Amino acid sequence: MSHNRTMIKVCGMTCSEDVDLAVEIGVDALGFILAKSERKVDLKTVKNITHNLPPFIDLVAVVVNPKRKEIEKIVESCLFNYIQLHGNEEAEMIKNLPLKTIKAISIASAEDLKKIKKYQAAADYLLFDTKIGSQTGGTGESFDWTLLKEVNLKENYILAGGLGADNIELALKKLKPAAVDINSQVESSPGKKNHKLLKETLEIIKFFKI
């Protein structure tokens, strides 16, 4: 990941119009949710809406506790550069995946930060998201960012959880993450991006100096 600017992933992509806009305004990665979600897509849809991408845009498969067969289908599709895991996956399984890995750690309290030790050596990158009850990710809410200040995070990490035009600059100033993951705060409805909000949010990120 680049160190002179914040890398940008937009997640929950479901249609070609949103993919085309995100690419046009300069995102680095697109996330596709293959797990149970209002934003769920299948591999055929991902292929159809990304077939005309320019080079060097990363595609991320987002899964929760995937079975072996699901992993095999994702790899065999040759669509994705990364797999992002949101469940209780074993660290050893993550280590052995043939794609680059992002392990999401959903945070409601300091207790959840204990998972960092379990996954830091297993995954290529950690992603911190918001946990509300049993919902991990896509909540539209931010977690208490001060919790990350209490942890010695040496590696590049990705910040997620309710990020949008209203709070993205504050998040970048406080935490200086290597990358941000944008989703629910730039939507008109689940899976449909609000193009005005998406443009505004990316403009703020791109003008922010690390």
Q: Which residues have a catalytic role annotated?
A: 11, 129
Q: Which of 33, 21, 65, 4 is nearest to 160 (CA)?
A: 33
What does the alpha-carbon distance between residue 18 and residue 136 come to, in Å, rounded to a whole number? 23
What does the alpha-carbon distance between residue 102 and residue 119 come to, in Å, rounded to a whole number? 10
Whether the CB-CB separation of 41 and 14 falls below 8 Å is answered with yes
Whether the CB-CB separation of 87 and 60 falls below 8 Å is answered with no
List, in order, residues 6 or more apart from 147 with CB less than 8 Å away.
107, 109, 110, 113
Whether the CB-CB separation of 153 and 177 falls below 8 Å is answered with no
What does the alpha-carbon distance between residue 19 and residue 166 come to, in Å, rounded to a whole number? 23
List, in order, residues 6 or more apart from 101 with CB less than 8 Å away.
82, 83, 84, 85, 94, 122, 123, 124, 125
Residue 44 to residues 14, 28, 40, 77, 143: CA-CA distances in angstroms? 11, 22, 12, 9, 34
What does the alpha-carbon distance between residue 5 and residue 26 come to, in Å, rounded to a whole number? 12
